[in-house]
């Protein structure tokens, strides 16, 4: 009996290690920093180092934490929502003056919206390019596939920053793309791409394509080809079988790829900063400006918290939905 218990104990201990380590990792490197961000977002601005009050002096223990909590203010979040008040205003007045005023003032929600739109459109473009690519890879001869996967991962071997900078050389007025198009006679004068949203789209699609291709490839490669044969055998031509069999069965890959592209793209800072123009509005850039230019840590922390909620809530809802569907299947 004792031996049984000790074996069980060891089992449990080893099981704890397996899940305990990643949980500890998450706790220390995600949850704790996130709590700090939340704390800062609930603080006030101050000309100090760090530039907010109150600060928690751990040396004083609980007293200081209680003290800090009693001083928390939600002003920073109210500040972020002022845009909504003006929307309500605008709706109540229905005058275009308000719209003009909105664009001048309501930086935050405009940044969120614009980020989501840019990220969304980029995700769709990435999917449109990535799906055929992944499909081609999955249907290539088996001996070629590892090479093709390597080619997809290859860009990661150089710094992301350098690759984005390289696009300047391609997209600028006298850059490679314009030279090529001029030489081909497609255009008569250089296209202005750099420092516009076009360049941001190109940059995001380029940078995030591997994150779309790899999960898609993984699902498409697993697809049992005899299913397509069975469909054809039952009178379904190949192009129709794609819509009825291949696509539905690759949906998990499509979703994974879209999440992997959309989520980081929403918060993207480097690409809009380097390739975008002064009118390119993205939340990552706004956050950066708030943090480093205005040194307003509380507001930028609030921006970050809201950004996280914008991303997490739909994903959680979606997963719930998925789970319900799966349970209903059973």
Partner 1 sequence: MDWRIGPVEYPGPNVSPGRNEPLRWLITFSSHFDRGGDLAKKPIGPIRRTFAPWEDPEKRPFIEFRNVTKRFGSFTAVDNLSQTIYEREFFALLGGSGCGKTTLMRMLAGFEQPTEGEIFLDGQNLAGVPPYRRPVNMMFQSYALFPHMSVEANIAFGLKQDGFPKADIADRVKEMLRLVKLEPFGKRKPHQLSGGQRQRVALARSLAKRPKVLLLDEPLAALDKKLREETQFELMDLQMDLGMTFLIVTHDQEEAMTVADRIAVMDAGRIIQVATPSEIYESPNSRYVADFIGDINLIESKVVAKNGETTRLRATELDIEFDVAQTTDADIGDAVAFGIRPEKITVTMDKPDADFSVHAEIWDIGYLGDVSTLHCRTEDGHNLRAGIANVTRLVERPLTWDDKIWMTWRKDAGVILRH
Q: Could you give the CA distance from residue 22 to residue 36 in angstroms, rounded to a whole number?
A: 20
Is residue 229 involved in binding partner 1 (CB under 8 A)?
yes
Structural tokens at position 145: 């596939």
Q: Could you give the CA distance from residue 126 to residue 262 in angstroms, rounded to a whole number?
A: 10
- Report how far Cα 320 is from the mean position of its chain's Cα atoms: 20
Is residue 236 involved in binding partner 1 (CB under 8 A)?
yes
Closest CA to 99 of 110, 111, 114, 108: 110
Is residue 67 involved in binding partner 1 (CB under 8 A)?
no
Least distance CB 136 / partner 1 (angstroms): 21
Which residue in the set 231, 258, 271, 305 belongs to the binding site for partner 1 (CB under 8 A)? 231
Secondary structure E strands in 146-210? none
Least distance CB 232 / partner 1 (angstroms): 4
Residue span binding partner 1 (CB under 8 A) among the ranges 104-112, 144-152, 195-203, 240-248? 240-248
Secondary structure E strands in the chain? 44-45, 52-53
Is residue 330 involved in binding partner 1 (CB under 8 A)?
yes
3 state DSSP class of 196: coil
Buried b (16+ CB within 10 A) or exposed e, 132-156: ebbbebbeeeeeeeeebbeebeeee
Is residue 82 involved in binding partner 1 (CB under 8 A)?
no
Structural tokens at position 146: 């590892």
Closest CA to 41 of 325, 247, 328, 299: 299
Is residue 230 involved in binding partner 1 (CB under 8 A)?
yes
Is residue 226 involved in binding partner 1 (CB under 8 A)?
yes
Residue span binding partner 1 (CB under 8 A) among the ranges 58-66, 161-169, 189-197, 225-233? 225-233
**Are the C-beta atoms of residues 210 and 153 closer than 8 Å to each other?**
yes
Is residue 89 involved in binding partner 1 (CB under 8 A)?
no
Residue given tokens 């390739």 in the structure block: 275
User: Which of 22/235 has CB closer to partner 1?
Assistant: 235
Is residue 235 involved in binding partner 1 (CB under 8 A)?
yes
Structural tokens at position 42: 């609930």
User: Which of 33/238 has CB closer to partner 1?
Assistant: 238
Window 310-329: residues binding partner 1 (CB under 8 A) = 329
Which residue in the set 77, 232, 267, 308 belongs to the binding site for partner 1 (CB under 8 A)? 232
Is residue 227 involved in binding partner 1 (CB under 8 A)?
yes
Is residue 237 involved in binding partner 1 (CB under 8 A)?
yes
Structural tokens at position 1: 């009996």
Window 246-305: residues binding partner 1 (CB under 8 A) = 248-249
User: Which of 293/328 has CB closer to partner 1?
Assistant: 328
Computed from CA positions of residues 66, 70, 76, 81, in that sequence, does the dihedral angle turn out positive or negative? positive
Binding site for partner 1 (CB under 8 A): 224, 226-227, 229-238, 240, 244-245, 248-249, 329-330
């Amino acid at each position: 009996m004792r031996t049984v218990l000790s074996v069980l104990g060891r089992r449990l201990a080893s099981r704890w290690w397996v899940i305990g380590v990643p949980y500890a990792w998450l706790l220390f490197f995600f949850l704790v920093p996130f709590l700090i961000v939340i704390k800062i977002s609930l603080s006030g601005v101050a000309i100090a180092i760090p530039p907010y009050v109150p600060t928690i002096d751990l040396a004083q223990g609980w007293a200081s934490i209680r003290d800090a909590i009693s001083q928390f203010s939600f002003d920073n979040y109210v500040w972020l929502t002022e845009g909504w008040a003006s929307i309500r205003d605008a709706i109540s007045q229905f005058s275009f003056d308000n719209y003009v005023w909105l664009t001048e003032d309501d930086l935050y929600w405009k940044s969120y919206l614009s980020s989501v739109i840019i990220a969304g459109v980029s995700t769709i473009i990435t999917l449109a390019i990535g799906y055929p690519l992944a499909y081609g890879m999955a249907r290539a001869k088996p001996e070629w596939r590892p090479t093709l996967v390597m080619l997809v991962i290859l860009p990661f071997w150089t710094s992301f920053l350098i690759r984005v900078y390289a696009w300047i050389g391609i997209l600028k007025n006298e850059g490679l793309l314009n030279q090529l198009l001029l030489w081909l006679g497609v255009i008569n004068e250089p296209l202005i791409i750099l420092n516009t949203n076009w360049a941001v789209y190109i940059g995001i699609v380029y940078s995030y394509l591997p994150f779309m291709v790899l999960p898609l490839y993984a699902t498409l490669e697993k697809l049992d080809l005899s299913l397509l044969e069975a469909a054809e055998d039952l009178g379904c031509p190949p192009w129709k079988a794609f819509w009825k069999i291949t696509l539905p069965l690759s949906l998990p890959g499509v979703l994974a790829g879209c999440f992997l592209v959309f989520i980081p793209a929403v918060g993207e800072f480097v690409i809009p900063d380097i390739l975008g123009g002064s009118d390119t509005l993205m939340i990552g850039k706004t956050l950066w400006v708030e943090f480093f230019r205005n040194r307003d840590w509380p507001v930028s922390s609030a921006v970050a918290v809201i950004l996280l909620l914008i991303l997490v809530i739909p994903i959680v809802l979606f997963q719930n939905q998925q789970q319900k569907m799966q349970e209903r299947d059973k």
